[in-house]
Every structure is written in C-alpha cells, then in structure tokens.
Chain A
C-alpha cells in the first residue's frame, strides 16, 4: 500500500517533469546556442496545442486523428518559429540583452493575442481515442495510459537530442558554436544559418510538446504564462544549455511538486522557486551547466 502510493505519486511527478522537459529543452537549447532568453517559447508551445486541436477537429471521426495531429502541429509550429527567426530574431544577435528580452516578451504578448483572435476565448478540449481512455496498472498503481506515451516521447526527445549533438556533424557545429562563435565562423560555417535551424528545432520541440499537452486537459489562453516561468525554473536548476541538466531539472521540479502537495500543499510553488534561487546563488550556471567566461 505504502509503496503503491509512493510509486503512483512518483509516476505523476515523472509525467509532470516530462511535460516540462519537452517545453524546456528547446528553451534551453536556444539559450545555450544563441544566448537568447526566449520569453515567447511557451506561447509558441500553446500555439502548438491549439494547432493540434484544429487538426484533430478536422479529422476527429478517425481514431488516429490525435496521433496524426501531434506531428502536424509540431511541424507547423516549427514553421512559425522559422518565420519568427528570419523576420525578427535574426536582427537581435548583435543587440543588447534588454532589447532581446523586450522583443521576445513583446512576441509573447502578440502571439497571446493572436491566439485569442484566431481561436477565440473559449477553452478547447480533445476527446481521446478509446485506446488511452482506460488506465494501465503498474505495481498496483493506476497510471493514465497516455502518460506512458508522454514519458516515452520525453525520453525519445532527450535521446534524440543527445544523439544529434554527440554524433552528427551539425550537432558538433552547434556545440562548437556554444563555445566560440568566432572559431566556427572562421572555419567558414555560416553562423546565422546554424542559428536559424537551432531556433526552428527548439520551436519544433515546443510545438510537439504543445500537441501532446492538448490531450492532457483543456487548452486555455494564458496557460503559456505559468508554463514559461516553470520552464525557466527547470533550465536554471539544470543549467542553461545543458541537455542533461534540463532533464534532471524537469524531474526535480516535477517530483518536488508532486510530493510537496501532499505534505505542504501551500508551499509547492514557493519551494520550487526557493530551489531555483538557491541554485542561482550557489551555482549560477546550474547543476550541469558550464560557467561562461565572466
């Protein structure tokens, strides 16, 4: 009984963490490579969720609708990200920190309202296909079967990114660009193009996360604002730009939240921010980050 209880609580923390990881990994990647703190990241994530809803409602008579909508939403969101990069973000690389922050903040405001104009203020709800309507049981604990999928995708994205950075040529270039842009540029590799694709990849993952989120609960305006701040905590805890760190940070936030609501329900969020602040004070570059040259 005790173990089952503990285990199911752990599993819900794990799913929560995985959802956060999917949002935060792109956020972290973009910061790590491009040094841009993208306040609009979660807003694009929300666009992914709404797009997924739209695709789903076009095909809803088929059971497969949801499974097709999620990748479609991811690709479309990625395309929006690409446009943002080419039109706006590109002009920011040489700008000052406060200008970058303000521009991405403004993007969050604009996209938030564009969502409202496009989809209206009412909440959107996806009806799940029958296969994920019933729970599965693990060690006697009931688990939402969709969450198995969420956890799987979370790990798949983590492994995929790891493989990309570690074993592909482009991954090596991206990693090199984190350390020295000048060097990469000197080798004749066009940095702007690398940035464009990194940003697009980050937003693609955000769109994927949004699509997955859309089947978890209703989709509403304003969800982005609470999510961005949690993704922010994750990345601070784990270390900006570090993939392992983002994964660990997500799991810490997920599990802390999951267990804190049992023992100190009022303090769950306070605790998460206290951890975040403590990490910043002790190791500003996070658990797994590398200190940038001061």
Chain B
C-alpha cells in the first residue's frame, strides 16, 4: 500500500531536509555552517551505527573504533603520502571494513550485554593501539596538517562536499535496509531463533551487517579529519562511542532518519550550550536522562505516538529489540 504512493509522498521528509540543507549556507553565518557540517558527519556516524542498533537489535558501544580507523586512514594517507582527499575516502571505508571484519567476527557470536561489552573492549583495544603507536600515529598528539584541497578549504565548499557524500552514503544505506538483506536483519532482530530455523546463517548475516556499519562509520571518520585539520586518539575512545548511541536514541532508532535528527538536536545543543557554560557534560547528562526516561522511542517515537506518522519501517512489534538475548 505504501509502495503505491508517489515518490514525493513517500520521500517528502528527506527531500524537505535536503532542500533546507542546500539552502542553509546562504542563510546562516559561517560558525553555524561548521556546526551543520558536524551535524552531517556525526549524523552519518549515527545512521551507520543504527544499522547494528535499530535494525539488528544489538547495542555496539565501540563504533568509534571504526570511525577512528577511517579518520586515521585518511589522515595518514593525506599527511604522509600526500594522497588527495577524494581518493582516501574509499580506502578509509575499506580499512574500517577490514577492522570491522576482524573484530566483528568475534562480536557477532555474542548477544545482548555481552555483545556490548565485547564491542567496548575491542574499541578500547583499537584506541590504545593508536594511542601507543607513537611513531606511526603520533600517539597522544594525533596528526596535524590534514588540509583539504584549496577548493574545499573554506567552510561552505566543505559543507557541500560533506552534504553530497553523506547524502549518497545515506541513500546507499537506505537501499540496503530496504533490500531483502535489510528485512533479514529485522527478522534476526525480532526473533533470532526463528530466523535460524528457516535456514538463514544468522552469524554470517550479522557479520556482513557489522562490516557495512563499520565501513560507513569509517567514511564518517574520514570526513572528520580534514574538517578539523587534525585527528586525535580520543576519536576512537569509548566516550565517543556513546555519541551515536545517544543520537539514535534521541532521534528514534526505529526510523531511518532518526539518528540524523538526533545528531541535529545533540550537536546544535552542544554548540549552543558551550557558548555560555563550560558545564556541557552536566547539561548533556541531564538531557540524556530526560530523553531516556520520558521519550522512549526518541523524537520519531513521540511523533508517532501523537499520530502524526503512520507506522513506518522499521517498527518493532512491541518487543524490545535490544533486550533479545539477555536473560
């Protein structure tokens, strides 16, 4: 029934958002262009994370590792080998994907809280390798001088570049989630045993999904380095892994664009709050508690409850997706 709707009717929300995003730089000062670039990059990070969380029903608390691998790949190639930025992006996706393959191979054997714990542990392992490998990664200092080419150097061109990359990546991820593969992921989320019984190799599917998520996290990281002109090991730390979790929860993990909306709210709030107080952790902590306690399902969850949206994919049918495998 949904499929019969016209293109515009079906995709009006992303279209509106895209048009707003296109017009934004003309309307706002350059500080906010930076903020919106950040929103896009972190939004892609959160969308990629949500492949595991919202669609597969497992909570990864270590996605920053792949984000960091992507960021360092771009940084190292640009600084040490003088590669052009565009060429580094696919390589970053590949290295992050390889990282996700190696670590994910072990992660997908576990479920529930043990899955989360293993992702944290692997995330910290990557963090400490980058942190301690002084001669190669610059250790605690990070890498400096990751400058995008001249035509992308200032804020607005880089914003558009990011917008294009993030849009293409999001469309690809969207088609993956709408493919038979995506529906298999939902099946695994909703009932792992039953999916196994119908002859699907659950672990292999989960691993593939994990790799795809890792690759796009890596792409987001790759965009971050040139944006900030430098990368530092903290990009891979467990605290940074919490960011996409919160964004997805805030925006609504059960809607494809939920994590992006979460990124808009979270990043915007950050830029605003840090303007007048140094107690951003306090404010963000209170916001997190508020959202988790009062807005389960995030922004899209609340909208849905009020009946603005008809049930949209991916919706879990009342069961707690993430709770599967615990107990």
Contacts and interface: CB of A to CB of B under 8 A. Distances in A.
Q: Is the interface of B mostly helix, strand, loop or mixed?
A: helix
Interface string A250-282: 000000000000000011011001101100110
B53 interface: yes
Interface string B196-239: 00000000000000000000000000000000000000000011
B118 A280 contact: yes
Given A96-B320, A280-B118, A103 B289 contact: yes
B326 A110 contact: no
Interface residues of B, number: 47
Given A35-B113, A113-B281, A105 B242 contact: yes
A107 B282 CA distance: 9
B121 A276 contact: yes
Interface string A230-251: 0011001000000000000000
A95 B124 CA distance: 26
Contacts of A142: none
B61 to A, nearest CB: 7
A145 B253 CA distance: 54
Q: Is the interface of A mostly helix, strand, loop or mixed?
A: helix
A225 B239 contact: yes
Interface string B255-295: 00000000000000000000000010110111011001100
Contacts of A267: 132
Contacts of A98: 53, 59, 245, 249, 322
B142 interface: no
27 contacts: A35-B113, A37-B116, A91-B293, A95-B292, A97-B113, A97-B326, A98-B322, A99-B296, A101-B116, A101-B245, A102-B242, A105-B242, A105-B288, A110-B281, A110-B282, A113-B279, A113-B282, A113-B285, A229-B124, A270-B132, A273-B124, A273-B125, A274-B125, A276-B121, A277-B122, A284-B114, A284-B117
Interface of A: 35, 37, 88, 91, 95-99, 101-103, 105-110, 112-114, 116-117, 225, 229, 232-233, 236, 266-267, 269-270, 273-274, 276-277, 280-281, 284-285, 292-294
